[in-house]
Amino acid sequence: MSHTFTVEELLAYDGSDASKPVYIAVKGVVYDVSASREFYGKGGPYEAFAGRECSRALAIMKVDAAECNGNLDDCTEKQLKTLDDWIAKFNTKYAVVGKAAEPGSAQDAGGAKPGAAAAKPGSSGKWQDEAVDMEEIKRTMMRLSPFTPGLLATLAIVGLLTALAAYVLYIDMTGQQPLEPHTEL
Ligand code: HEM
């Protein structure tokens, strides 16, 4: 069972305490980004993200603390795609350590109290449902894979042409002299 962090709990991992790990939350998924303390720790270029839900900031490519929240309502398709690309990167780079409650939700208010989450089975917010959408993760990984259908088709054609060239060369080298006009004289 993964832990659901309240907004306040998550904030404890904002990098200000060097003895604690640094966490960021993206679409309600909490990542341990301690390995990149130079980015997210105190004084780092992305310190505003630490200890917070930063989906919006990542989508619109802003490092302002004011944009560190989960509101994606006015984001364009392109910005949502940018966010998906960040998520794909984080999924390969960092460990997931839990979920983040939606601010102001029942989980946010009660998550810190023991038993509060267990008392409400299946009450996960919409972020949690999206967070475990394996199909979405697979689609993102397919999109980021270097083996696009176009590349595979090109590789297949190059392979066929190489085989054909090797065959022609083989015929050429193993005798089978082509009939030339002077041989008929
Ligand atoms: C002049 C503008 C910028 C430059 C030159 C820049 C440059 C870089 C560089 C060199 C890295 C390190 C990449 C790596 O080693 O993996 C990085 C990481 C990162 N950048 Fe920027 N960046 C810029 C703007 C932004 C903005 C506006 C955002 C807002 C979303 C952003 C978000 C990030 C994040 C989240 C990482 C860390 C990714 C990770 O954890 O691996 N950057 N940036």
Of the ranges 7-11, 103-107, 136-140, which is most confident?
7-11
Predicted pLDDT of residue 56: 97
The pick from 22, 38, 39, 78 for probing ligand 1's pocket by mutation, whose C-beta has the most ligand atoms within 8 angstroms, reads 39
**Ligand 1 pocket check for 46: Cβ under 6 Å:** yes
What are the extents of the domains in the chain?
Answer: 3-144, 149-184
**Ligand 1 pocket check for 60: Cβ under 6 Å:** no
26-53 burial, b for 16+ CB within 10 Å, e for fewer? bbbbbbbbbebbebbbeebebbbbbbbb
The two three-digit tokens of residue 130, written as one number = 């999206």
Predicted pLDDT of residue 136: 61
Q: Looking at the domain covering 3-144, what would its CATH class be?
A: alpha beta
Q: Mean pLDDT over residues 92-120, rounded?
A: 72
**Ligand 1 pocket check for 58: Cβ under 6 Å:** yes
Closest CA to 125 of 111, 112, 140, 138: 111
**Is a pLDDT exceeding 90 seen at residue 51?**
yes
Angle subtended by helix axes 77-93 and 134-144, to nearest 10: 90
